[in-house]
Amino acid sequence: MYDEEQQPGAPEHGPLAGFTVGVTAARRADELGALLQRRGAAVLHAPALRIVPLADDSELLAATKEIIDQVPDVVVATTAIGFRGWIEAADGWGLGEHLLGRLRGAELLARGPKVKGAIRAAGLTEEWSPSSESLAEVLDRLLQEGVDGRRVAVQLHGEPLPGFVESLRAGGAEVVPVPVYRWMPPEDITPLDRLLDATVNRALDALSFTSAPAAASLLTRAEDRGLLPELLSALAHDVLPACVGPVTAIPLQAHGVDTVQPERFRLGPLVQLLCQELPGRARALPVAGHRVEIRGHAVLVDGALKPVPPAGMALLRALSRRPGWVVPRADLLRALPGAGRDEHAVETAMARLRTALGAPKLIQTVVKRGYRLALDPASDAKYADA
């Protein structure tokens, strides 16, 4: 685990320096982005959805009246923003005090600390809240208590909760869904398309998801643009999909995408997980007496961070796929994005790459043939143990 404060002797850059992470969150995106940037990452943010409150929605009004008319045995509050929105909407209809009175008579369960704060701000007290912030733990508690014949109101958070409502009904509960807000596609789709293109083109090292609807929205947009196979390939092989928890991962797993998830389903542990996973995936090579670690848009040379232009990174990756071997100019030209057929573009990009690395002997020119990384095989054991 990486500590937030700099440790003595630690590198000046953060553990995510040189990596680019995509953020799909609509809520708390600034918080997640700040956590990533503090650890050195470049962040590309595009909300995959937007939250539409349902204060004027007939479904929410009907559910509220139903709860006022017949007090539920249990009320499950899943999000702070949703619970607050529900109380505010009821106030707007002149039903706020009636609703609060009914909620005081029910067993009130809160999914996590933020929800507890919203409940207490409304003058209510929760009966219980799981330390894991997991709805699965809430469901386990309810099923262990027994829900047969009990009336359970569930505040939804944008879409039906996968398996949650169905499990309660299978246990014999009468479930009253409370749809407080819905997820909708963003009004401006351009940033999401930019994020999708960056993922497909492998310009990202990781893509983070904090809700299942965000993951589903990105997949839907990719399908609409005919890019779904390319997106799934990128997430399977090159761009690390990181989810805040198992429910968030469901839409991706339904498409065969394996994801990584922290043990605790919160933003901090999600960022710490990326701090472990991304450096572990970076390729490190012993080259000309130096340790060279190739990251997304930068290189560590003996622990010093060296930002590299995109063309230079394309050349370096092509060379690193065959370290120590000569890579012909024609192959390097094909690796350069938009270079055309002019091999002079390779020489120009190579000169800039060497300047950026600050160690010209790392890459050798083989006259009339191409270029090679000056791999130092004698250092293999040394670097393998580093």
Evaluate whether the domain defined by 283-384 bears CATH number 1.10.10.10: yes
Give the pLDDT score at 183. 76
Helix, strand, coil percentages (3-state) for the chain, rounded to 5, are 45, 20, 35
Give the pLDDT score at 192. 96
Do 52-179 and 283-384 share a fold? Answer: no
What are the tokens at 83?
A: 């619970």
Span 52-179 CATH architecture: 3-Layer(aba) Sandwich (3.40)
Give the pLDDT score at 5. 37
Question: Could you tell me which residues come within 8 angstroms of residue 170 by beta carbon, excluding any fewer than 6 positions away?
Answer: none
pLDDT along the chain (386 residues), means of 10: 37 84 89 93 93 75 94 94 89 94 96 92 95 84 95 80 83 93 86 96 93 90 97 95 88 94 87 94 88 90 90 90 89 79 83 90 89 75 43
Task: Quickly name the fold that domain 20-49+187-281 has.
Answer: Rossmann fold (3.40.50)
At 312 the three-state DSSP class reads helix
Query: Which is it for the CA torsion 114, 115, 121, 126, positive or negative?
Result: negative
At 157 the three-state DSSP class reads strand
Give the pLDDT score at 340. 62
Do residues 295 and 282 make contact, with C-beta atoms less than 8 angstroms apart? yes
Give the pLDDT score at 385. 43
Give the pLDDT score at 74. 97
What are the tokens at 91?
A: 């106030």
> What's the Cα-to-Cα distance from 98 to each of 61, 70, 210, rounded to whole Å?
13, 11, 34
* For the chain, domain boundaries: 20-49+187-281, 52-179, 283-384
Give the pLDDT score at 103. 96
Question: Could you tell me which residues come within 8 angstroms of residue 201 by beta carbon, excluding any fewer than 6 positions away?
Answer: none
Give the pLDDT score at 226. 97
Q: Is the pTM of this model over 0.75?
A: no
